Amino acid sequence: MIVSSDIGGTFTDYVTLEAGKLTAFKTLTTPDPSHGIIQRFDRQTLAEFSHGTTAAVNAVLERTGGPVVFFTTSGFRDLVLIGRQARTDVYSFVCDMPQVPVAKIVEVSERTDTDGTVVEGVSEDELVLAAKRYAKIGPVAVVGFINSYMNPENEEFAEEALRRYFSMVIPSHKVRREIREYDRFCTAIIEGYCKPIVDKYLNELAQLSRRFYLMQSNGGRTRLPDLRAVNMLMSGPAGGVAATEALCRRLGIENAIAYDMGGTSADVSAIVSGTPLYTDTVHITGIPIKTLAIDIETIGAGGGSIAWIDDGGAFKVGPMSAGAHPGPACYGQGGKEFTVSDANCITGVLGARISGISLNLDRALAASKLLCNTLDLSPIDLSFGVLRIVNNNMVSALKRISIGKGYDPREFSLVAFGGAGPMHACALADALGIKHIIVPQFAGAFSALGIMGAPVRFDHVRTILSPLEDALDIIPRVVKTFQETLHGKIKNRYQDITLHVSLDMRYLGQGHEINVPFCDVDALAHAFHDRHDALYGFNMPDNTIEVVNVKLVAELPVDELELPKHRKHTAKVRGMRDVYPDNSVSVYGRDFHGSCVTGPCMIEDETTTIYVNAYWNAELDLHDILHLRLERD
């Protein structure tokens, strides 16, 4: 059996492949996620197990990581506390700074020049004295010295000396050898903050299979020995985008928006010309973390998002969530707060069961009473208001990753998945002018499917800070070093690797750079000038071009999952349901392969519910991929 799992705040999704048969199911997430998964498979040995998790990002969000002692260059102790002094609110008298989770900052006398020359070495006596004093704070030491991206000699010396006093020592150059010390230091600190928790949790899961893979933020999998905690901050959502990319490739679709709404949050991302958009910096609670990641917009809008009234009397939904325990009131597990799922239950969108859970309408109505009395609304009007607010929140997120990046959403297909996504898809598409919605196979566990089918992926970055002419001599050496490292990791499969090289480039004197795929040497300058003009409306072909970073991504492909093919079936109505505001609508199972139904109607499967609005048609192909198309202008 081959298994993949994706842990969310409310549900844990599974996809299994056994004897050529794919199966998907969901369970409520347990307080200790690893125990829930291990118990599910009763400690049997799996042929392969792949896993996506929110463990790292939750540790940062909830501040549940381990204490970190940070050793840095003398005179720079306040750097990670001050940051860039950027103001999130220019009108506020109080400037809230990102709070980097560091327990103690220790200054060390050392200095490396900007060209990599070691001006002052590290004193071992000074390090030992500090280590003896502060090792009692916690087992993790992080070393971040100025200009170590050019020459890590001093960091390497400090790492060796501190290993006698700390069980884990993390030098910044081994996490991210890249220019800009604030970002590099923050990234190394977050690595040290999350790694002890992540390692404990994942080492338990590794018992399930010798072939144990972790999903990374970059849309690829990796083995546990090669994993960095900062590379899995967006692990779960990246699985859904990887699955969307594969689906679009199968269907021949160039532009799509991946829309994943689960129990706690909604994640949206764009696929442009068949490829996801990427970012090299993830911001968690304002902290910049340097890691190659699919560009994903996440908001607190899920089935468990709680409706509430703020101090100013405004009616809001989320970002707080009822989670898996106690969950929405309609789950019947003790939840008292009114949530999006309760609103969908009252309006009739949700039926009697979802993902193996029996839903209780009476408990949803009871949870609505306080808000109904406060706002002087009926339960149905309250529920409709909740759905309008949460839909508006998601439309705003979809606009940010499409219109906000210069793309017209009307030219995109919307791929809706997650346990709650297909319930809201038509409403979002109507608001954005999208006319084609895809609800994929195993929609409620689509991220887990993407994790199972994702390639093994390695990425590397190296700052070189050289004029383009000089960089052309340096780049081959950087590539060769990366290739040698890869060969040591994957040995006999090295010949299957696909390598992608790109360069961060800028005009000499600029403060920020743009990424350009590496191409023919003679065409590199022209490619940069053209890209600069496309982004900013001008270029400066007479100016010197500087190469800041060399970025490398290596992929080890996997066999494409073969989707089961179904026989053609005519759609049959299972029953009728009162859905506000459409009155009585037909309810279908997801079994009318090769046939079409017309909205308004409901389509139910094991892991999700699809609400087909009026003027939309739904056609289910023989591979269980549901296409919704708008039949009016």
Distance of CA 528 to the CA centre of its chain: 29
Q: What band does 92 get if pLDDT is binned at 50, 70 and 90?
A: confident
Examine the pLDDT at 34 and tell me if it is beyond 80.
no
Task: Quote the pLDDT of residue 564.
Answer: 81
Q: Phi first, then psi: what are they for 36, rounded to 5°?
A: -60, -40
Tell me what the pLDDT averaged over the chain comes to.
91
Task: Give the tens place of pLDDT for each residue, 352-410.
Answer: 877 677 889 999 999 999 999 999 999 999 999 999 999 999 999 999 999 988 899 99
2-16, 38-52, 84-98, 292-306: range with highest mean pLDDT: 292-306
Task: Quote the pLDDT of residue 113.
Answer: 96
Nearest CA to 159 among 176, 171, 174, 151?
171
Tell me how far apart the alpha carbons of residues 162 and 122 are, in angstroms, rounded to a whole number.
12
List the single range of 180-189, 470-479, 487-496, 529-538 with lowest mean pLDDT: 487-496
Q: In sequence order, what are the beta bridge partners of 70?
A: 105, 142
Q: Where are the alpha helices (H) located in 206-265, listed in sequence order?
A: 235-251
Task: Quote the pLDDT of residue 351.
Answer: 84
Task: Give the tens place of pLDDT for each residue, 45-68.
Answer: 789 999 998 888 888 887 889 999
DSSP per-residue letters across 173-190: HHH---S-HHHHHHHHHH
Task: Give the tens place of pLDDT for each residue, 232-241.
Answer: 998 888 999 9
pTM attached to this predicted model: 0.86
Examine the pLDDT at 633 and tell me if it is beyond 70.
no
Nearest CA to 462 among 549, 545, 546?
549
Task: Quote the pLDDT of residue 620.
Answer: 96
Task: Quote the pLDDT of residue 43.
Answer: 63
Contact 2, 16 (CB under 8 A): yes
Examine the pLDDT at 22 and tell me if it is beyond 80.
yes
Examine the pLDDT at 174 and tell me if it is beyond 90.
yes
Higher pLDDT: 92 or 158? It is 158
Judged by DSSP in three states, 282 sits in strand
Task: Quote the pLDDT of residue 580.
Answer: 85
The predicted model gives 163-174 an average pLDDT of 96
**Is residue 296 exposed (0-12), middle (13-18) or buried (19+ Cβ within 10 Å)?**
buried
Task: Quote the pLDDT of residue 597.
Answer: 96
At position 314, the amino acid (one-letter code) is A
Domains of the chain: 2-61+202-215 (3.30.420.40), 66-199 (3.40.50), 235-300+391-451 (3.30.420.40), 305-389 (no CATH), 456-556 (3.30.1490), 573-618 (no CATH)
Task: Quote the pLDDT of residue 12.
Answer: 85
The predicted model gives 256-268 an average pLDDT of 91
Q: What band does 592 get if pLDDT is binned at 50, 70 and 90?
A: very high
Tell me how far apart the alpha carbons of residues 517 and 515 are, in angstroms, rounded to a whole number.
7
Task: Quote the pLDDT of residue 204.
Answer: 87
Task: Quote the pLDDT of residue 19.
Answer: 85
Higher pLDDT: 88 or 542? It is 542
Q: What is the number of other CB atoms lying within 10 angstroms of the CB of residue 452?
A: 30
Higher pLDDT: 10 or 241? It is 241
Joined tokens for residue 44:
């049997």
Task: Give the tens place of pLDDT for each residue, 132-146.
Answer: 999 999 999 999 999
Task: Give the tens place of pLDDT for each residue, 194-206.
Answer: 999 888 889 988 8
The predicted model gives 511-536 an average pLDDT of 90
Q: What is the number of other CB atoms lying within 10 angstroms of the CB of residue 255?
A: 17
Higher pLDDT: 63 or 35? It is 63
Contact 431, 616 (CB under 8 A): no
